[in-house]
Chain A
Amino acid sequence: MKRYPDAPAAAVDGVSLALATGEFFALLGPSGCGKTTLLRLLAGFERPDAGRILIGGEDMASVPPYARPVNMMFQSYALFPHMSVADNVAFGLRQEKRPRPEIERRVAAMLDLVKLGPLAQRKPGQLSGGEKQRVALARALIKEPKLLLLDEPLTALDRKLREETRFELVRIQQRVGITFLLVTHDQEEAMSMASRIAVMDQGRIAQMGAPDQIYERPANRFVAGFLGAVNLLPARVATAAGGVLTLDSAEAGAPLKVEHERALAPGTAVTVALRPEKMLLGTTANPAWPNALSGIVRGIAYRGEASDIEIELATGKVVRATVANADRPARSALTIGQPVFLGWRRDAAVVLET
C-alpha cells in the first residue's frame, strides 16, 4: 500500500493519494499543475516542506533517491551514452553489487521482455526513439521497484508508435505486476493506460477516479474541459424531481432535463456539460428526445472516423457535435448552412456545481 500525503508550498499543496500495489495510476494535468513536482518528490529529487511519503509503510520523505525502492523512466530517457544497452540496463543491479551471473541472467530476461535482445551491445546513439524508450523502461524495471514512475512516456513518439507503445506498456505492467505511476498532460495517454487517474490543477487534485468515471461524470468545469471536448451551458435549476433536474438555460434557449443524484434548490446556478459525441443529430425534430434544440450548421471537420460539426443555436451559442462517419445517413445529409435538430438523453449530460 502506498500513500503520499504531502504539501510542499505552492507547487503541490494538500495532495493526498493512495495507490494500490500493482495498480497503473496516472497523474494528469496541464503544464504547471504540479504533477512533475509530485513526480520528483516521489523519486527523491525534491524534498517536501511538509507531509509524508509512505512506501510499504515506511516514510521515505527524507530518503535520498538512491536508497528508495522507486525507479523512474525519464522523459528524455537519460540513457548513459558511453555505455551499451546491456550496460545501461545492468547499471542498477551493479549498484546493488549483485553477482555477475545473476546480473547477466536478469539483463537477458529483461531485454527479452522489452524485445531488445539483439541490440544489447549497441550504444544509445545508434538507437531509434522507440528503442531508446524500451531501454529506459528495462533499466528501471530490472530493479523490481515497489513503484515505477513514468514521465510523459509517449509524448516524444509519433502517433503510430504511440499506439503500439501504449499496449506494450500495459502488457508489461500486467506481466510484472509493479505499481506504475504515469505523469502526463495528454488525456488520451492517461485514459488509455491507467486504471485510475488523478487530474491535477494548480497544485491540487481536481478529481480522482477511473477513466470512464472522470470522463463521463466530471466533478467540475476544469476536469470537464480538460478531458476532451465538451459543451458547457450555464443554466439555473427550475425544478428537481425523481433524480432529474429541469433547468432553464438562456444559452440553450430551451429547458434542459438532466439526471443528477442531488436535488438542488430551484434557482441554483450550475453548468451543464455535454460531450459532443453524445449529441444526436437529425434533419427533423425527434419527439422522443427529452432535450431538443435546433440550429444551423456552421462548420464540418471531417476526421476520418468521425466528423466534428459546429452548430449555431438560435440563441447564438455555438455547440459542437461529433458524429461517427460510419453512421452514414446522419453525415451525408449535412451541409454548411443547413438547419438541423439536435437532442440528447437525460443521462447524457452532467450537471456541474463548480
Chain B
Amino acid sequence: MSARPYTGRWRRLAVVMPPYAWLALFFLVPFAIVLKISLADQAMSIPPYTPLIAGGHLLASTANYRFLASDSLYARAFGNSIWFAAWATCGCLLIGYPLAYGIVRAPLRWRNALLLLVILPFWTSFLIRVYAWIGLLQDNGLINRLLLDIGLVHAPLPLLNNSFAVYVGLIYSYLPYMVLPLYAALEKLDPVLLEAAADLGCRPSQAFRRVTLPLSLPGIVAGALLVFIPMCGEFIIPDLLGGPNTLMIGHVLWDEFFTNRDWPVASAVAVAMLVLLVLPMGLLRRYLTGERA
C-alpha cells in the first residue's frame, strides 16, 4: 500500500537478477555437478572421470560412497575434524571472551586502538600466520630453544606435526573471527543492567555469571557457529602443522584430488561433507541465531 522508492517491479528485477543469476550459476549449479561426478568413476582421460551417459547406459554408481563408508580412514578423518573443530572452538572462546570483554571495559580512548589490534591479524595473510607457527614450534624452533635454555626440558618437545600444533593453529587463526561477534554482543550490553545488579546486592563475579554471561550468549553462539564449520573443512593447518594422526576431512579431499587424481572420490567426500557437516550445522546456525529467511 505504500509508494516507497525502489519498489518498481523492473527496478527490483534489475537489482536482484545479477547476483541471483551469478550465484545460481557459480554456486548452486556446481553442487549438482559435484553430485554427478561423485557417482562416476576415475578414468585415465581428460577430464579424469567417466561420463554420465555412455553408449546409452547410465554409468552412475554409488561405488565411491560405499568405498568411503568401508574405509575407516574417512570415518576417522570426519571424526577428527569434528573433534578438533569442537575443542578449538572452545579454545577460541576461552581466549577470545576475555579479550572481547576487556576491550569493552577498556577506557573509550583505548577501545578503537585495541579493536584495531585485534582486527589487524585478520587482514594479514592467513597462510603466513599459520606458517609463522612452524618457526616457533619446530624442534629447533623458538619455543623449544627457550625451554632448553631455561632448563625446563632436556630434549626438544615435539610441538610440531601433531595434534597440539593443529589445535594451536586452529585457535590462533580463527581467534579474530570469534572476538568480533563477541565484542559486538558485549558492546550492546547496557552497563545500567550491571549497576542494577550491584544495587540489588550482586557481587561482581555473580553479576558476571548471572547477567553478562547469559546476555552475551547470542554472541557466543554466533561466534562459535561462525568458526566451527570452516574449522572442520580446514586444509592449510593440518597440512602445514599436522602429522600422520591429524587427518582432517578437508585435507583428505585435497589429497584425493591433487595426489590421487581421483576426482570422483574427492567429489564423494565433498558431498559427504555437505550432507553430514555443512547442512546440519547451517540449519542449526539458522535456527539458533534466528536469521531471517
Neighbouring A residues of B2 by C-beta, 8 Å? 45-47
Q: Check if B16 is an interface residue, CB within 8 A of chain A.
A: no
Chain B interface residue number, banded: under 10
Is A45 a contact of B3 with CB atoms below 8 Å? yes
Q: Check if A299 is an interface residue, CB within 8 A of chain B.
A: no
Q: Check if A64 is an interface residue, CB within 8 A of chain B.
A: yes
Is B3 a contact of A44 with CB atoms below 8 Å? yes
Distance, CA A8 to CA B3, complexed state (A): 14
Q: Check if A51 is an interface residue, CB within 8 A of chain B.
A: no
Is B1 a contact of A45 with CB atoms below 8 Å? no
A80 CB to closest chain B CB (Å) equals: 15
Neighbouring A residues of B12 by C-beta, 8 Å? none
Neighbouring A residues of B1 by C-beta, 8 Å? 8, 46-47, 49
CB within 8 Å of B: which A1-58 residues = 8, 44-47, 49
Distance, CA A8 to CA B2, complexed state (A): 11
Neighbouring A residues of B188 by C-beta, 8 Å? none
Q: Check if B4 is an interface residue, CB within 8 A of chain A.
A: yes
Neighbouring B residues of A45 by C-beta, 8 Å? 2-4
CB within 8 Å of A: which B167-222 residues = none
Distance, CA A46 to CA B7, complexed state (A): 13
Which one of B1, B2, B3, B4 has the highest number of Cβ atoms from chain A below 10 Å of its Cβ? B3
Prevailing SS type, chain A contact patch: loop
CB within 8 Å of B: which A292-326 residues = none
Closest to A62 in B: B3
Closest to A66 in B: B5
Closest to B2 in A: A46
Closest to A40 in B: B2
A128 CB to closest chain B CB (Å) equals: 24
Distance, CA A45 to CA B3, complexed state (A): 5
Distance, CA A49 to CA B2, complexed state (A): 10
B7 CB to closest chain A CB (Å) equals: 11
Distance, CA A64 to CA B2, complexed state (A): 10
B40 CB to closest chain A CB (Å) equals: 57
CB within 8 Å of B: which A51-104 residues = 64-65
Distance, CA A192 to CA B2, complexed state (A): 33
Distance, CA A328 to CA B2, complexed state (A): 58
A35 CB to closest chain B CB (Å) equals: 17
CB within 8 Å of A: which B56-94 residues = none
Distance, CA A45 to CA B2, complexed state (A): 6
Neighbouring B residues of A44 by C-beta, 8 Å? 3
User: 14 A-B residue contacts at CB 8 Å?
Assistant: A8-B1, A44-B3, A45-B2, A45-B3, A45-B4, A46-B1, A46-B2, A46-B3, A47-B1, A47-B2, A47-B3, A49-B1, A64-B3, A65-B3
Q: Which residues of B contact A (CB under 8 A)?
A: 1-4
Q: What 12 new A-B contacts, CB under 8 Å, besides A46-B3, A65-B3?
A: A8-B1, A44-B3, A45-B2, A45-B3, A45-B4, A46-B1, A46-B2, A47-B1, A47-B2, A47-B3, A49-B1, A64-B3
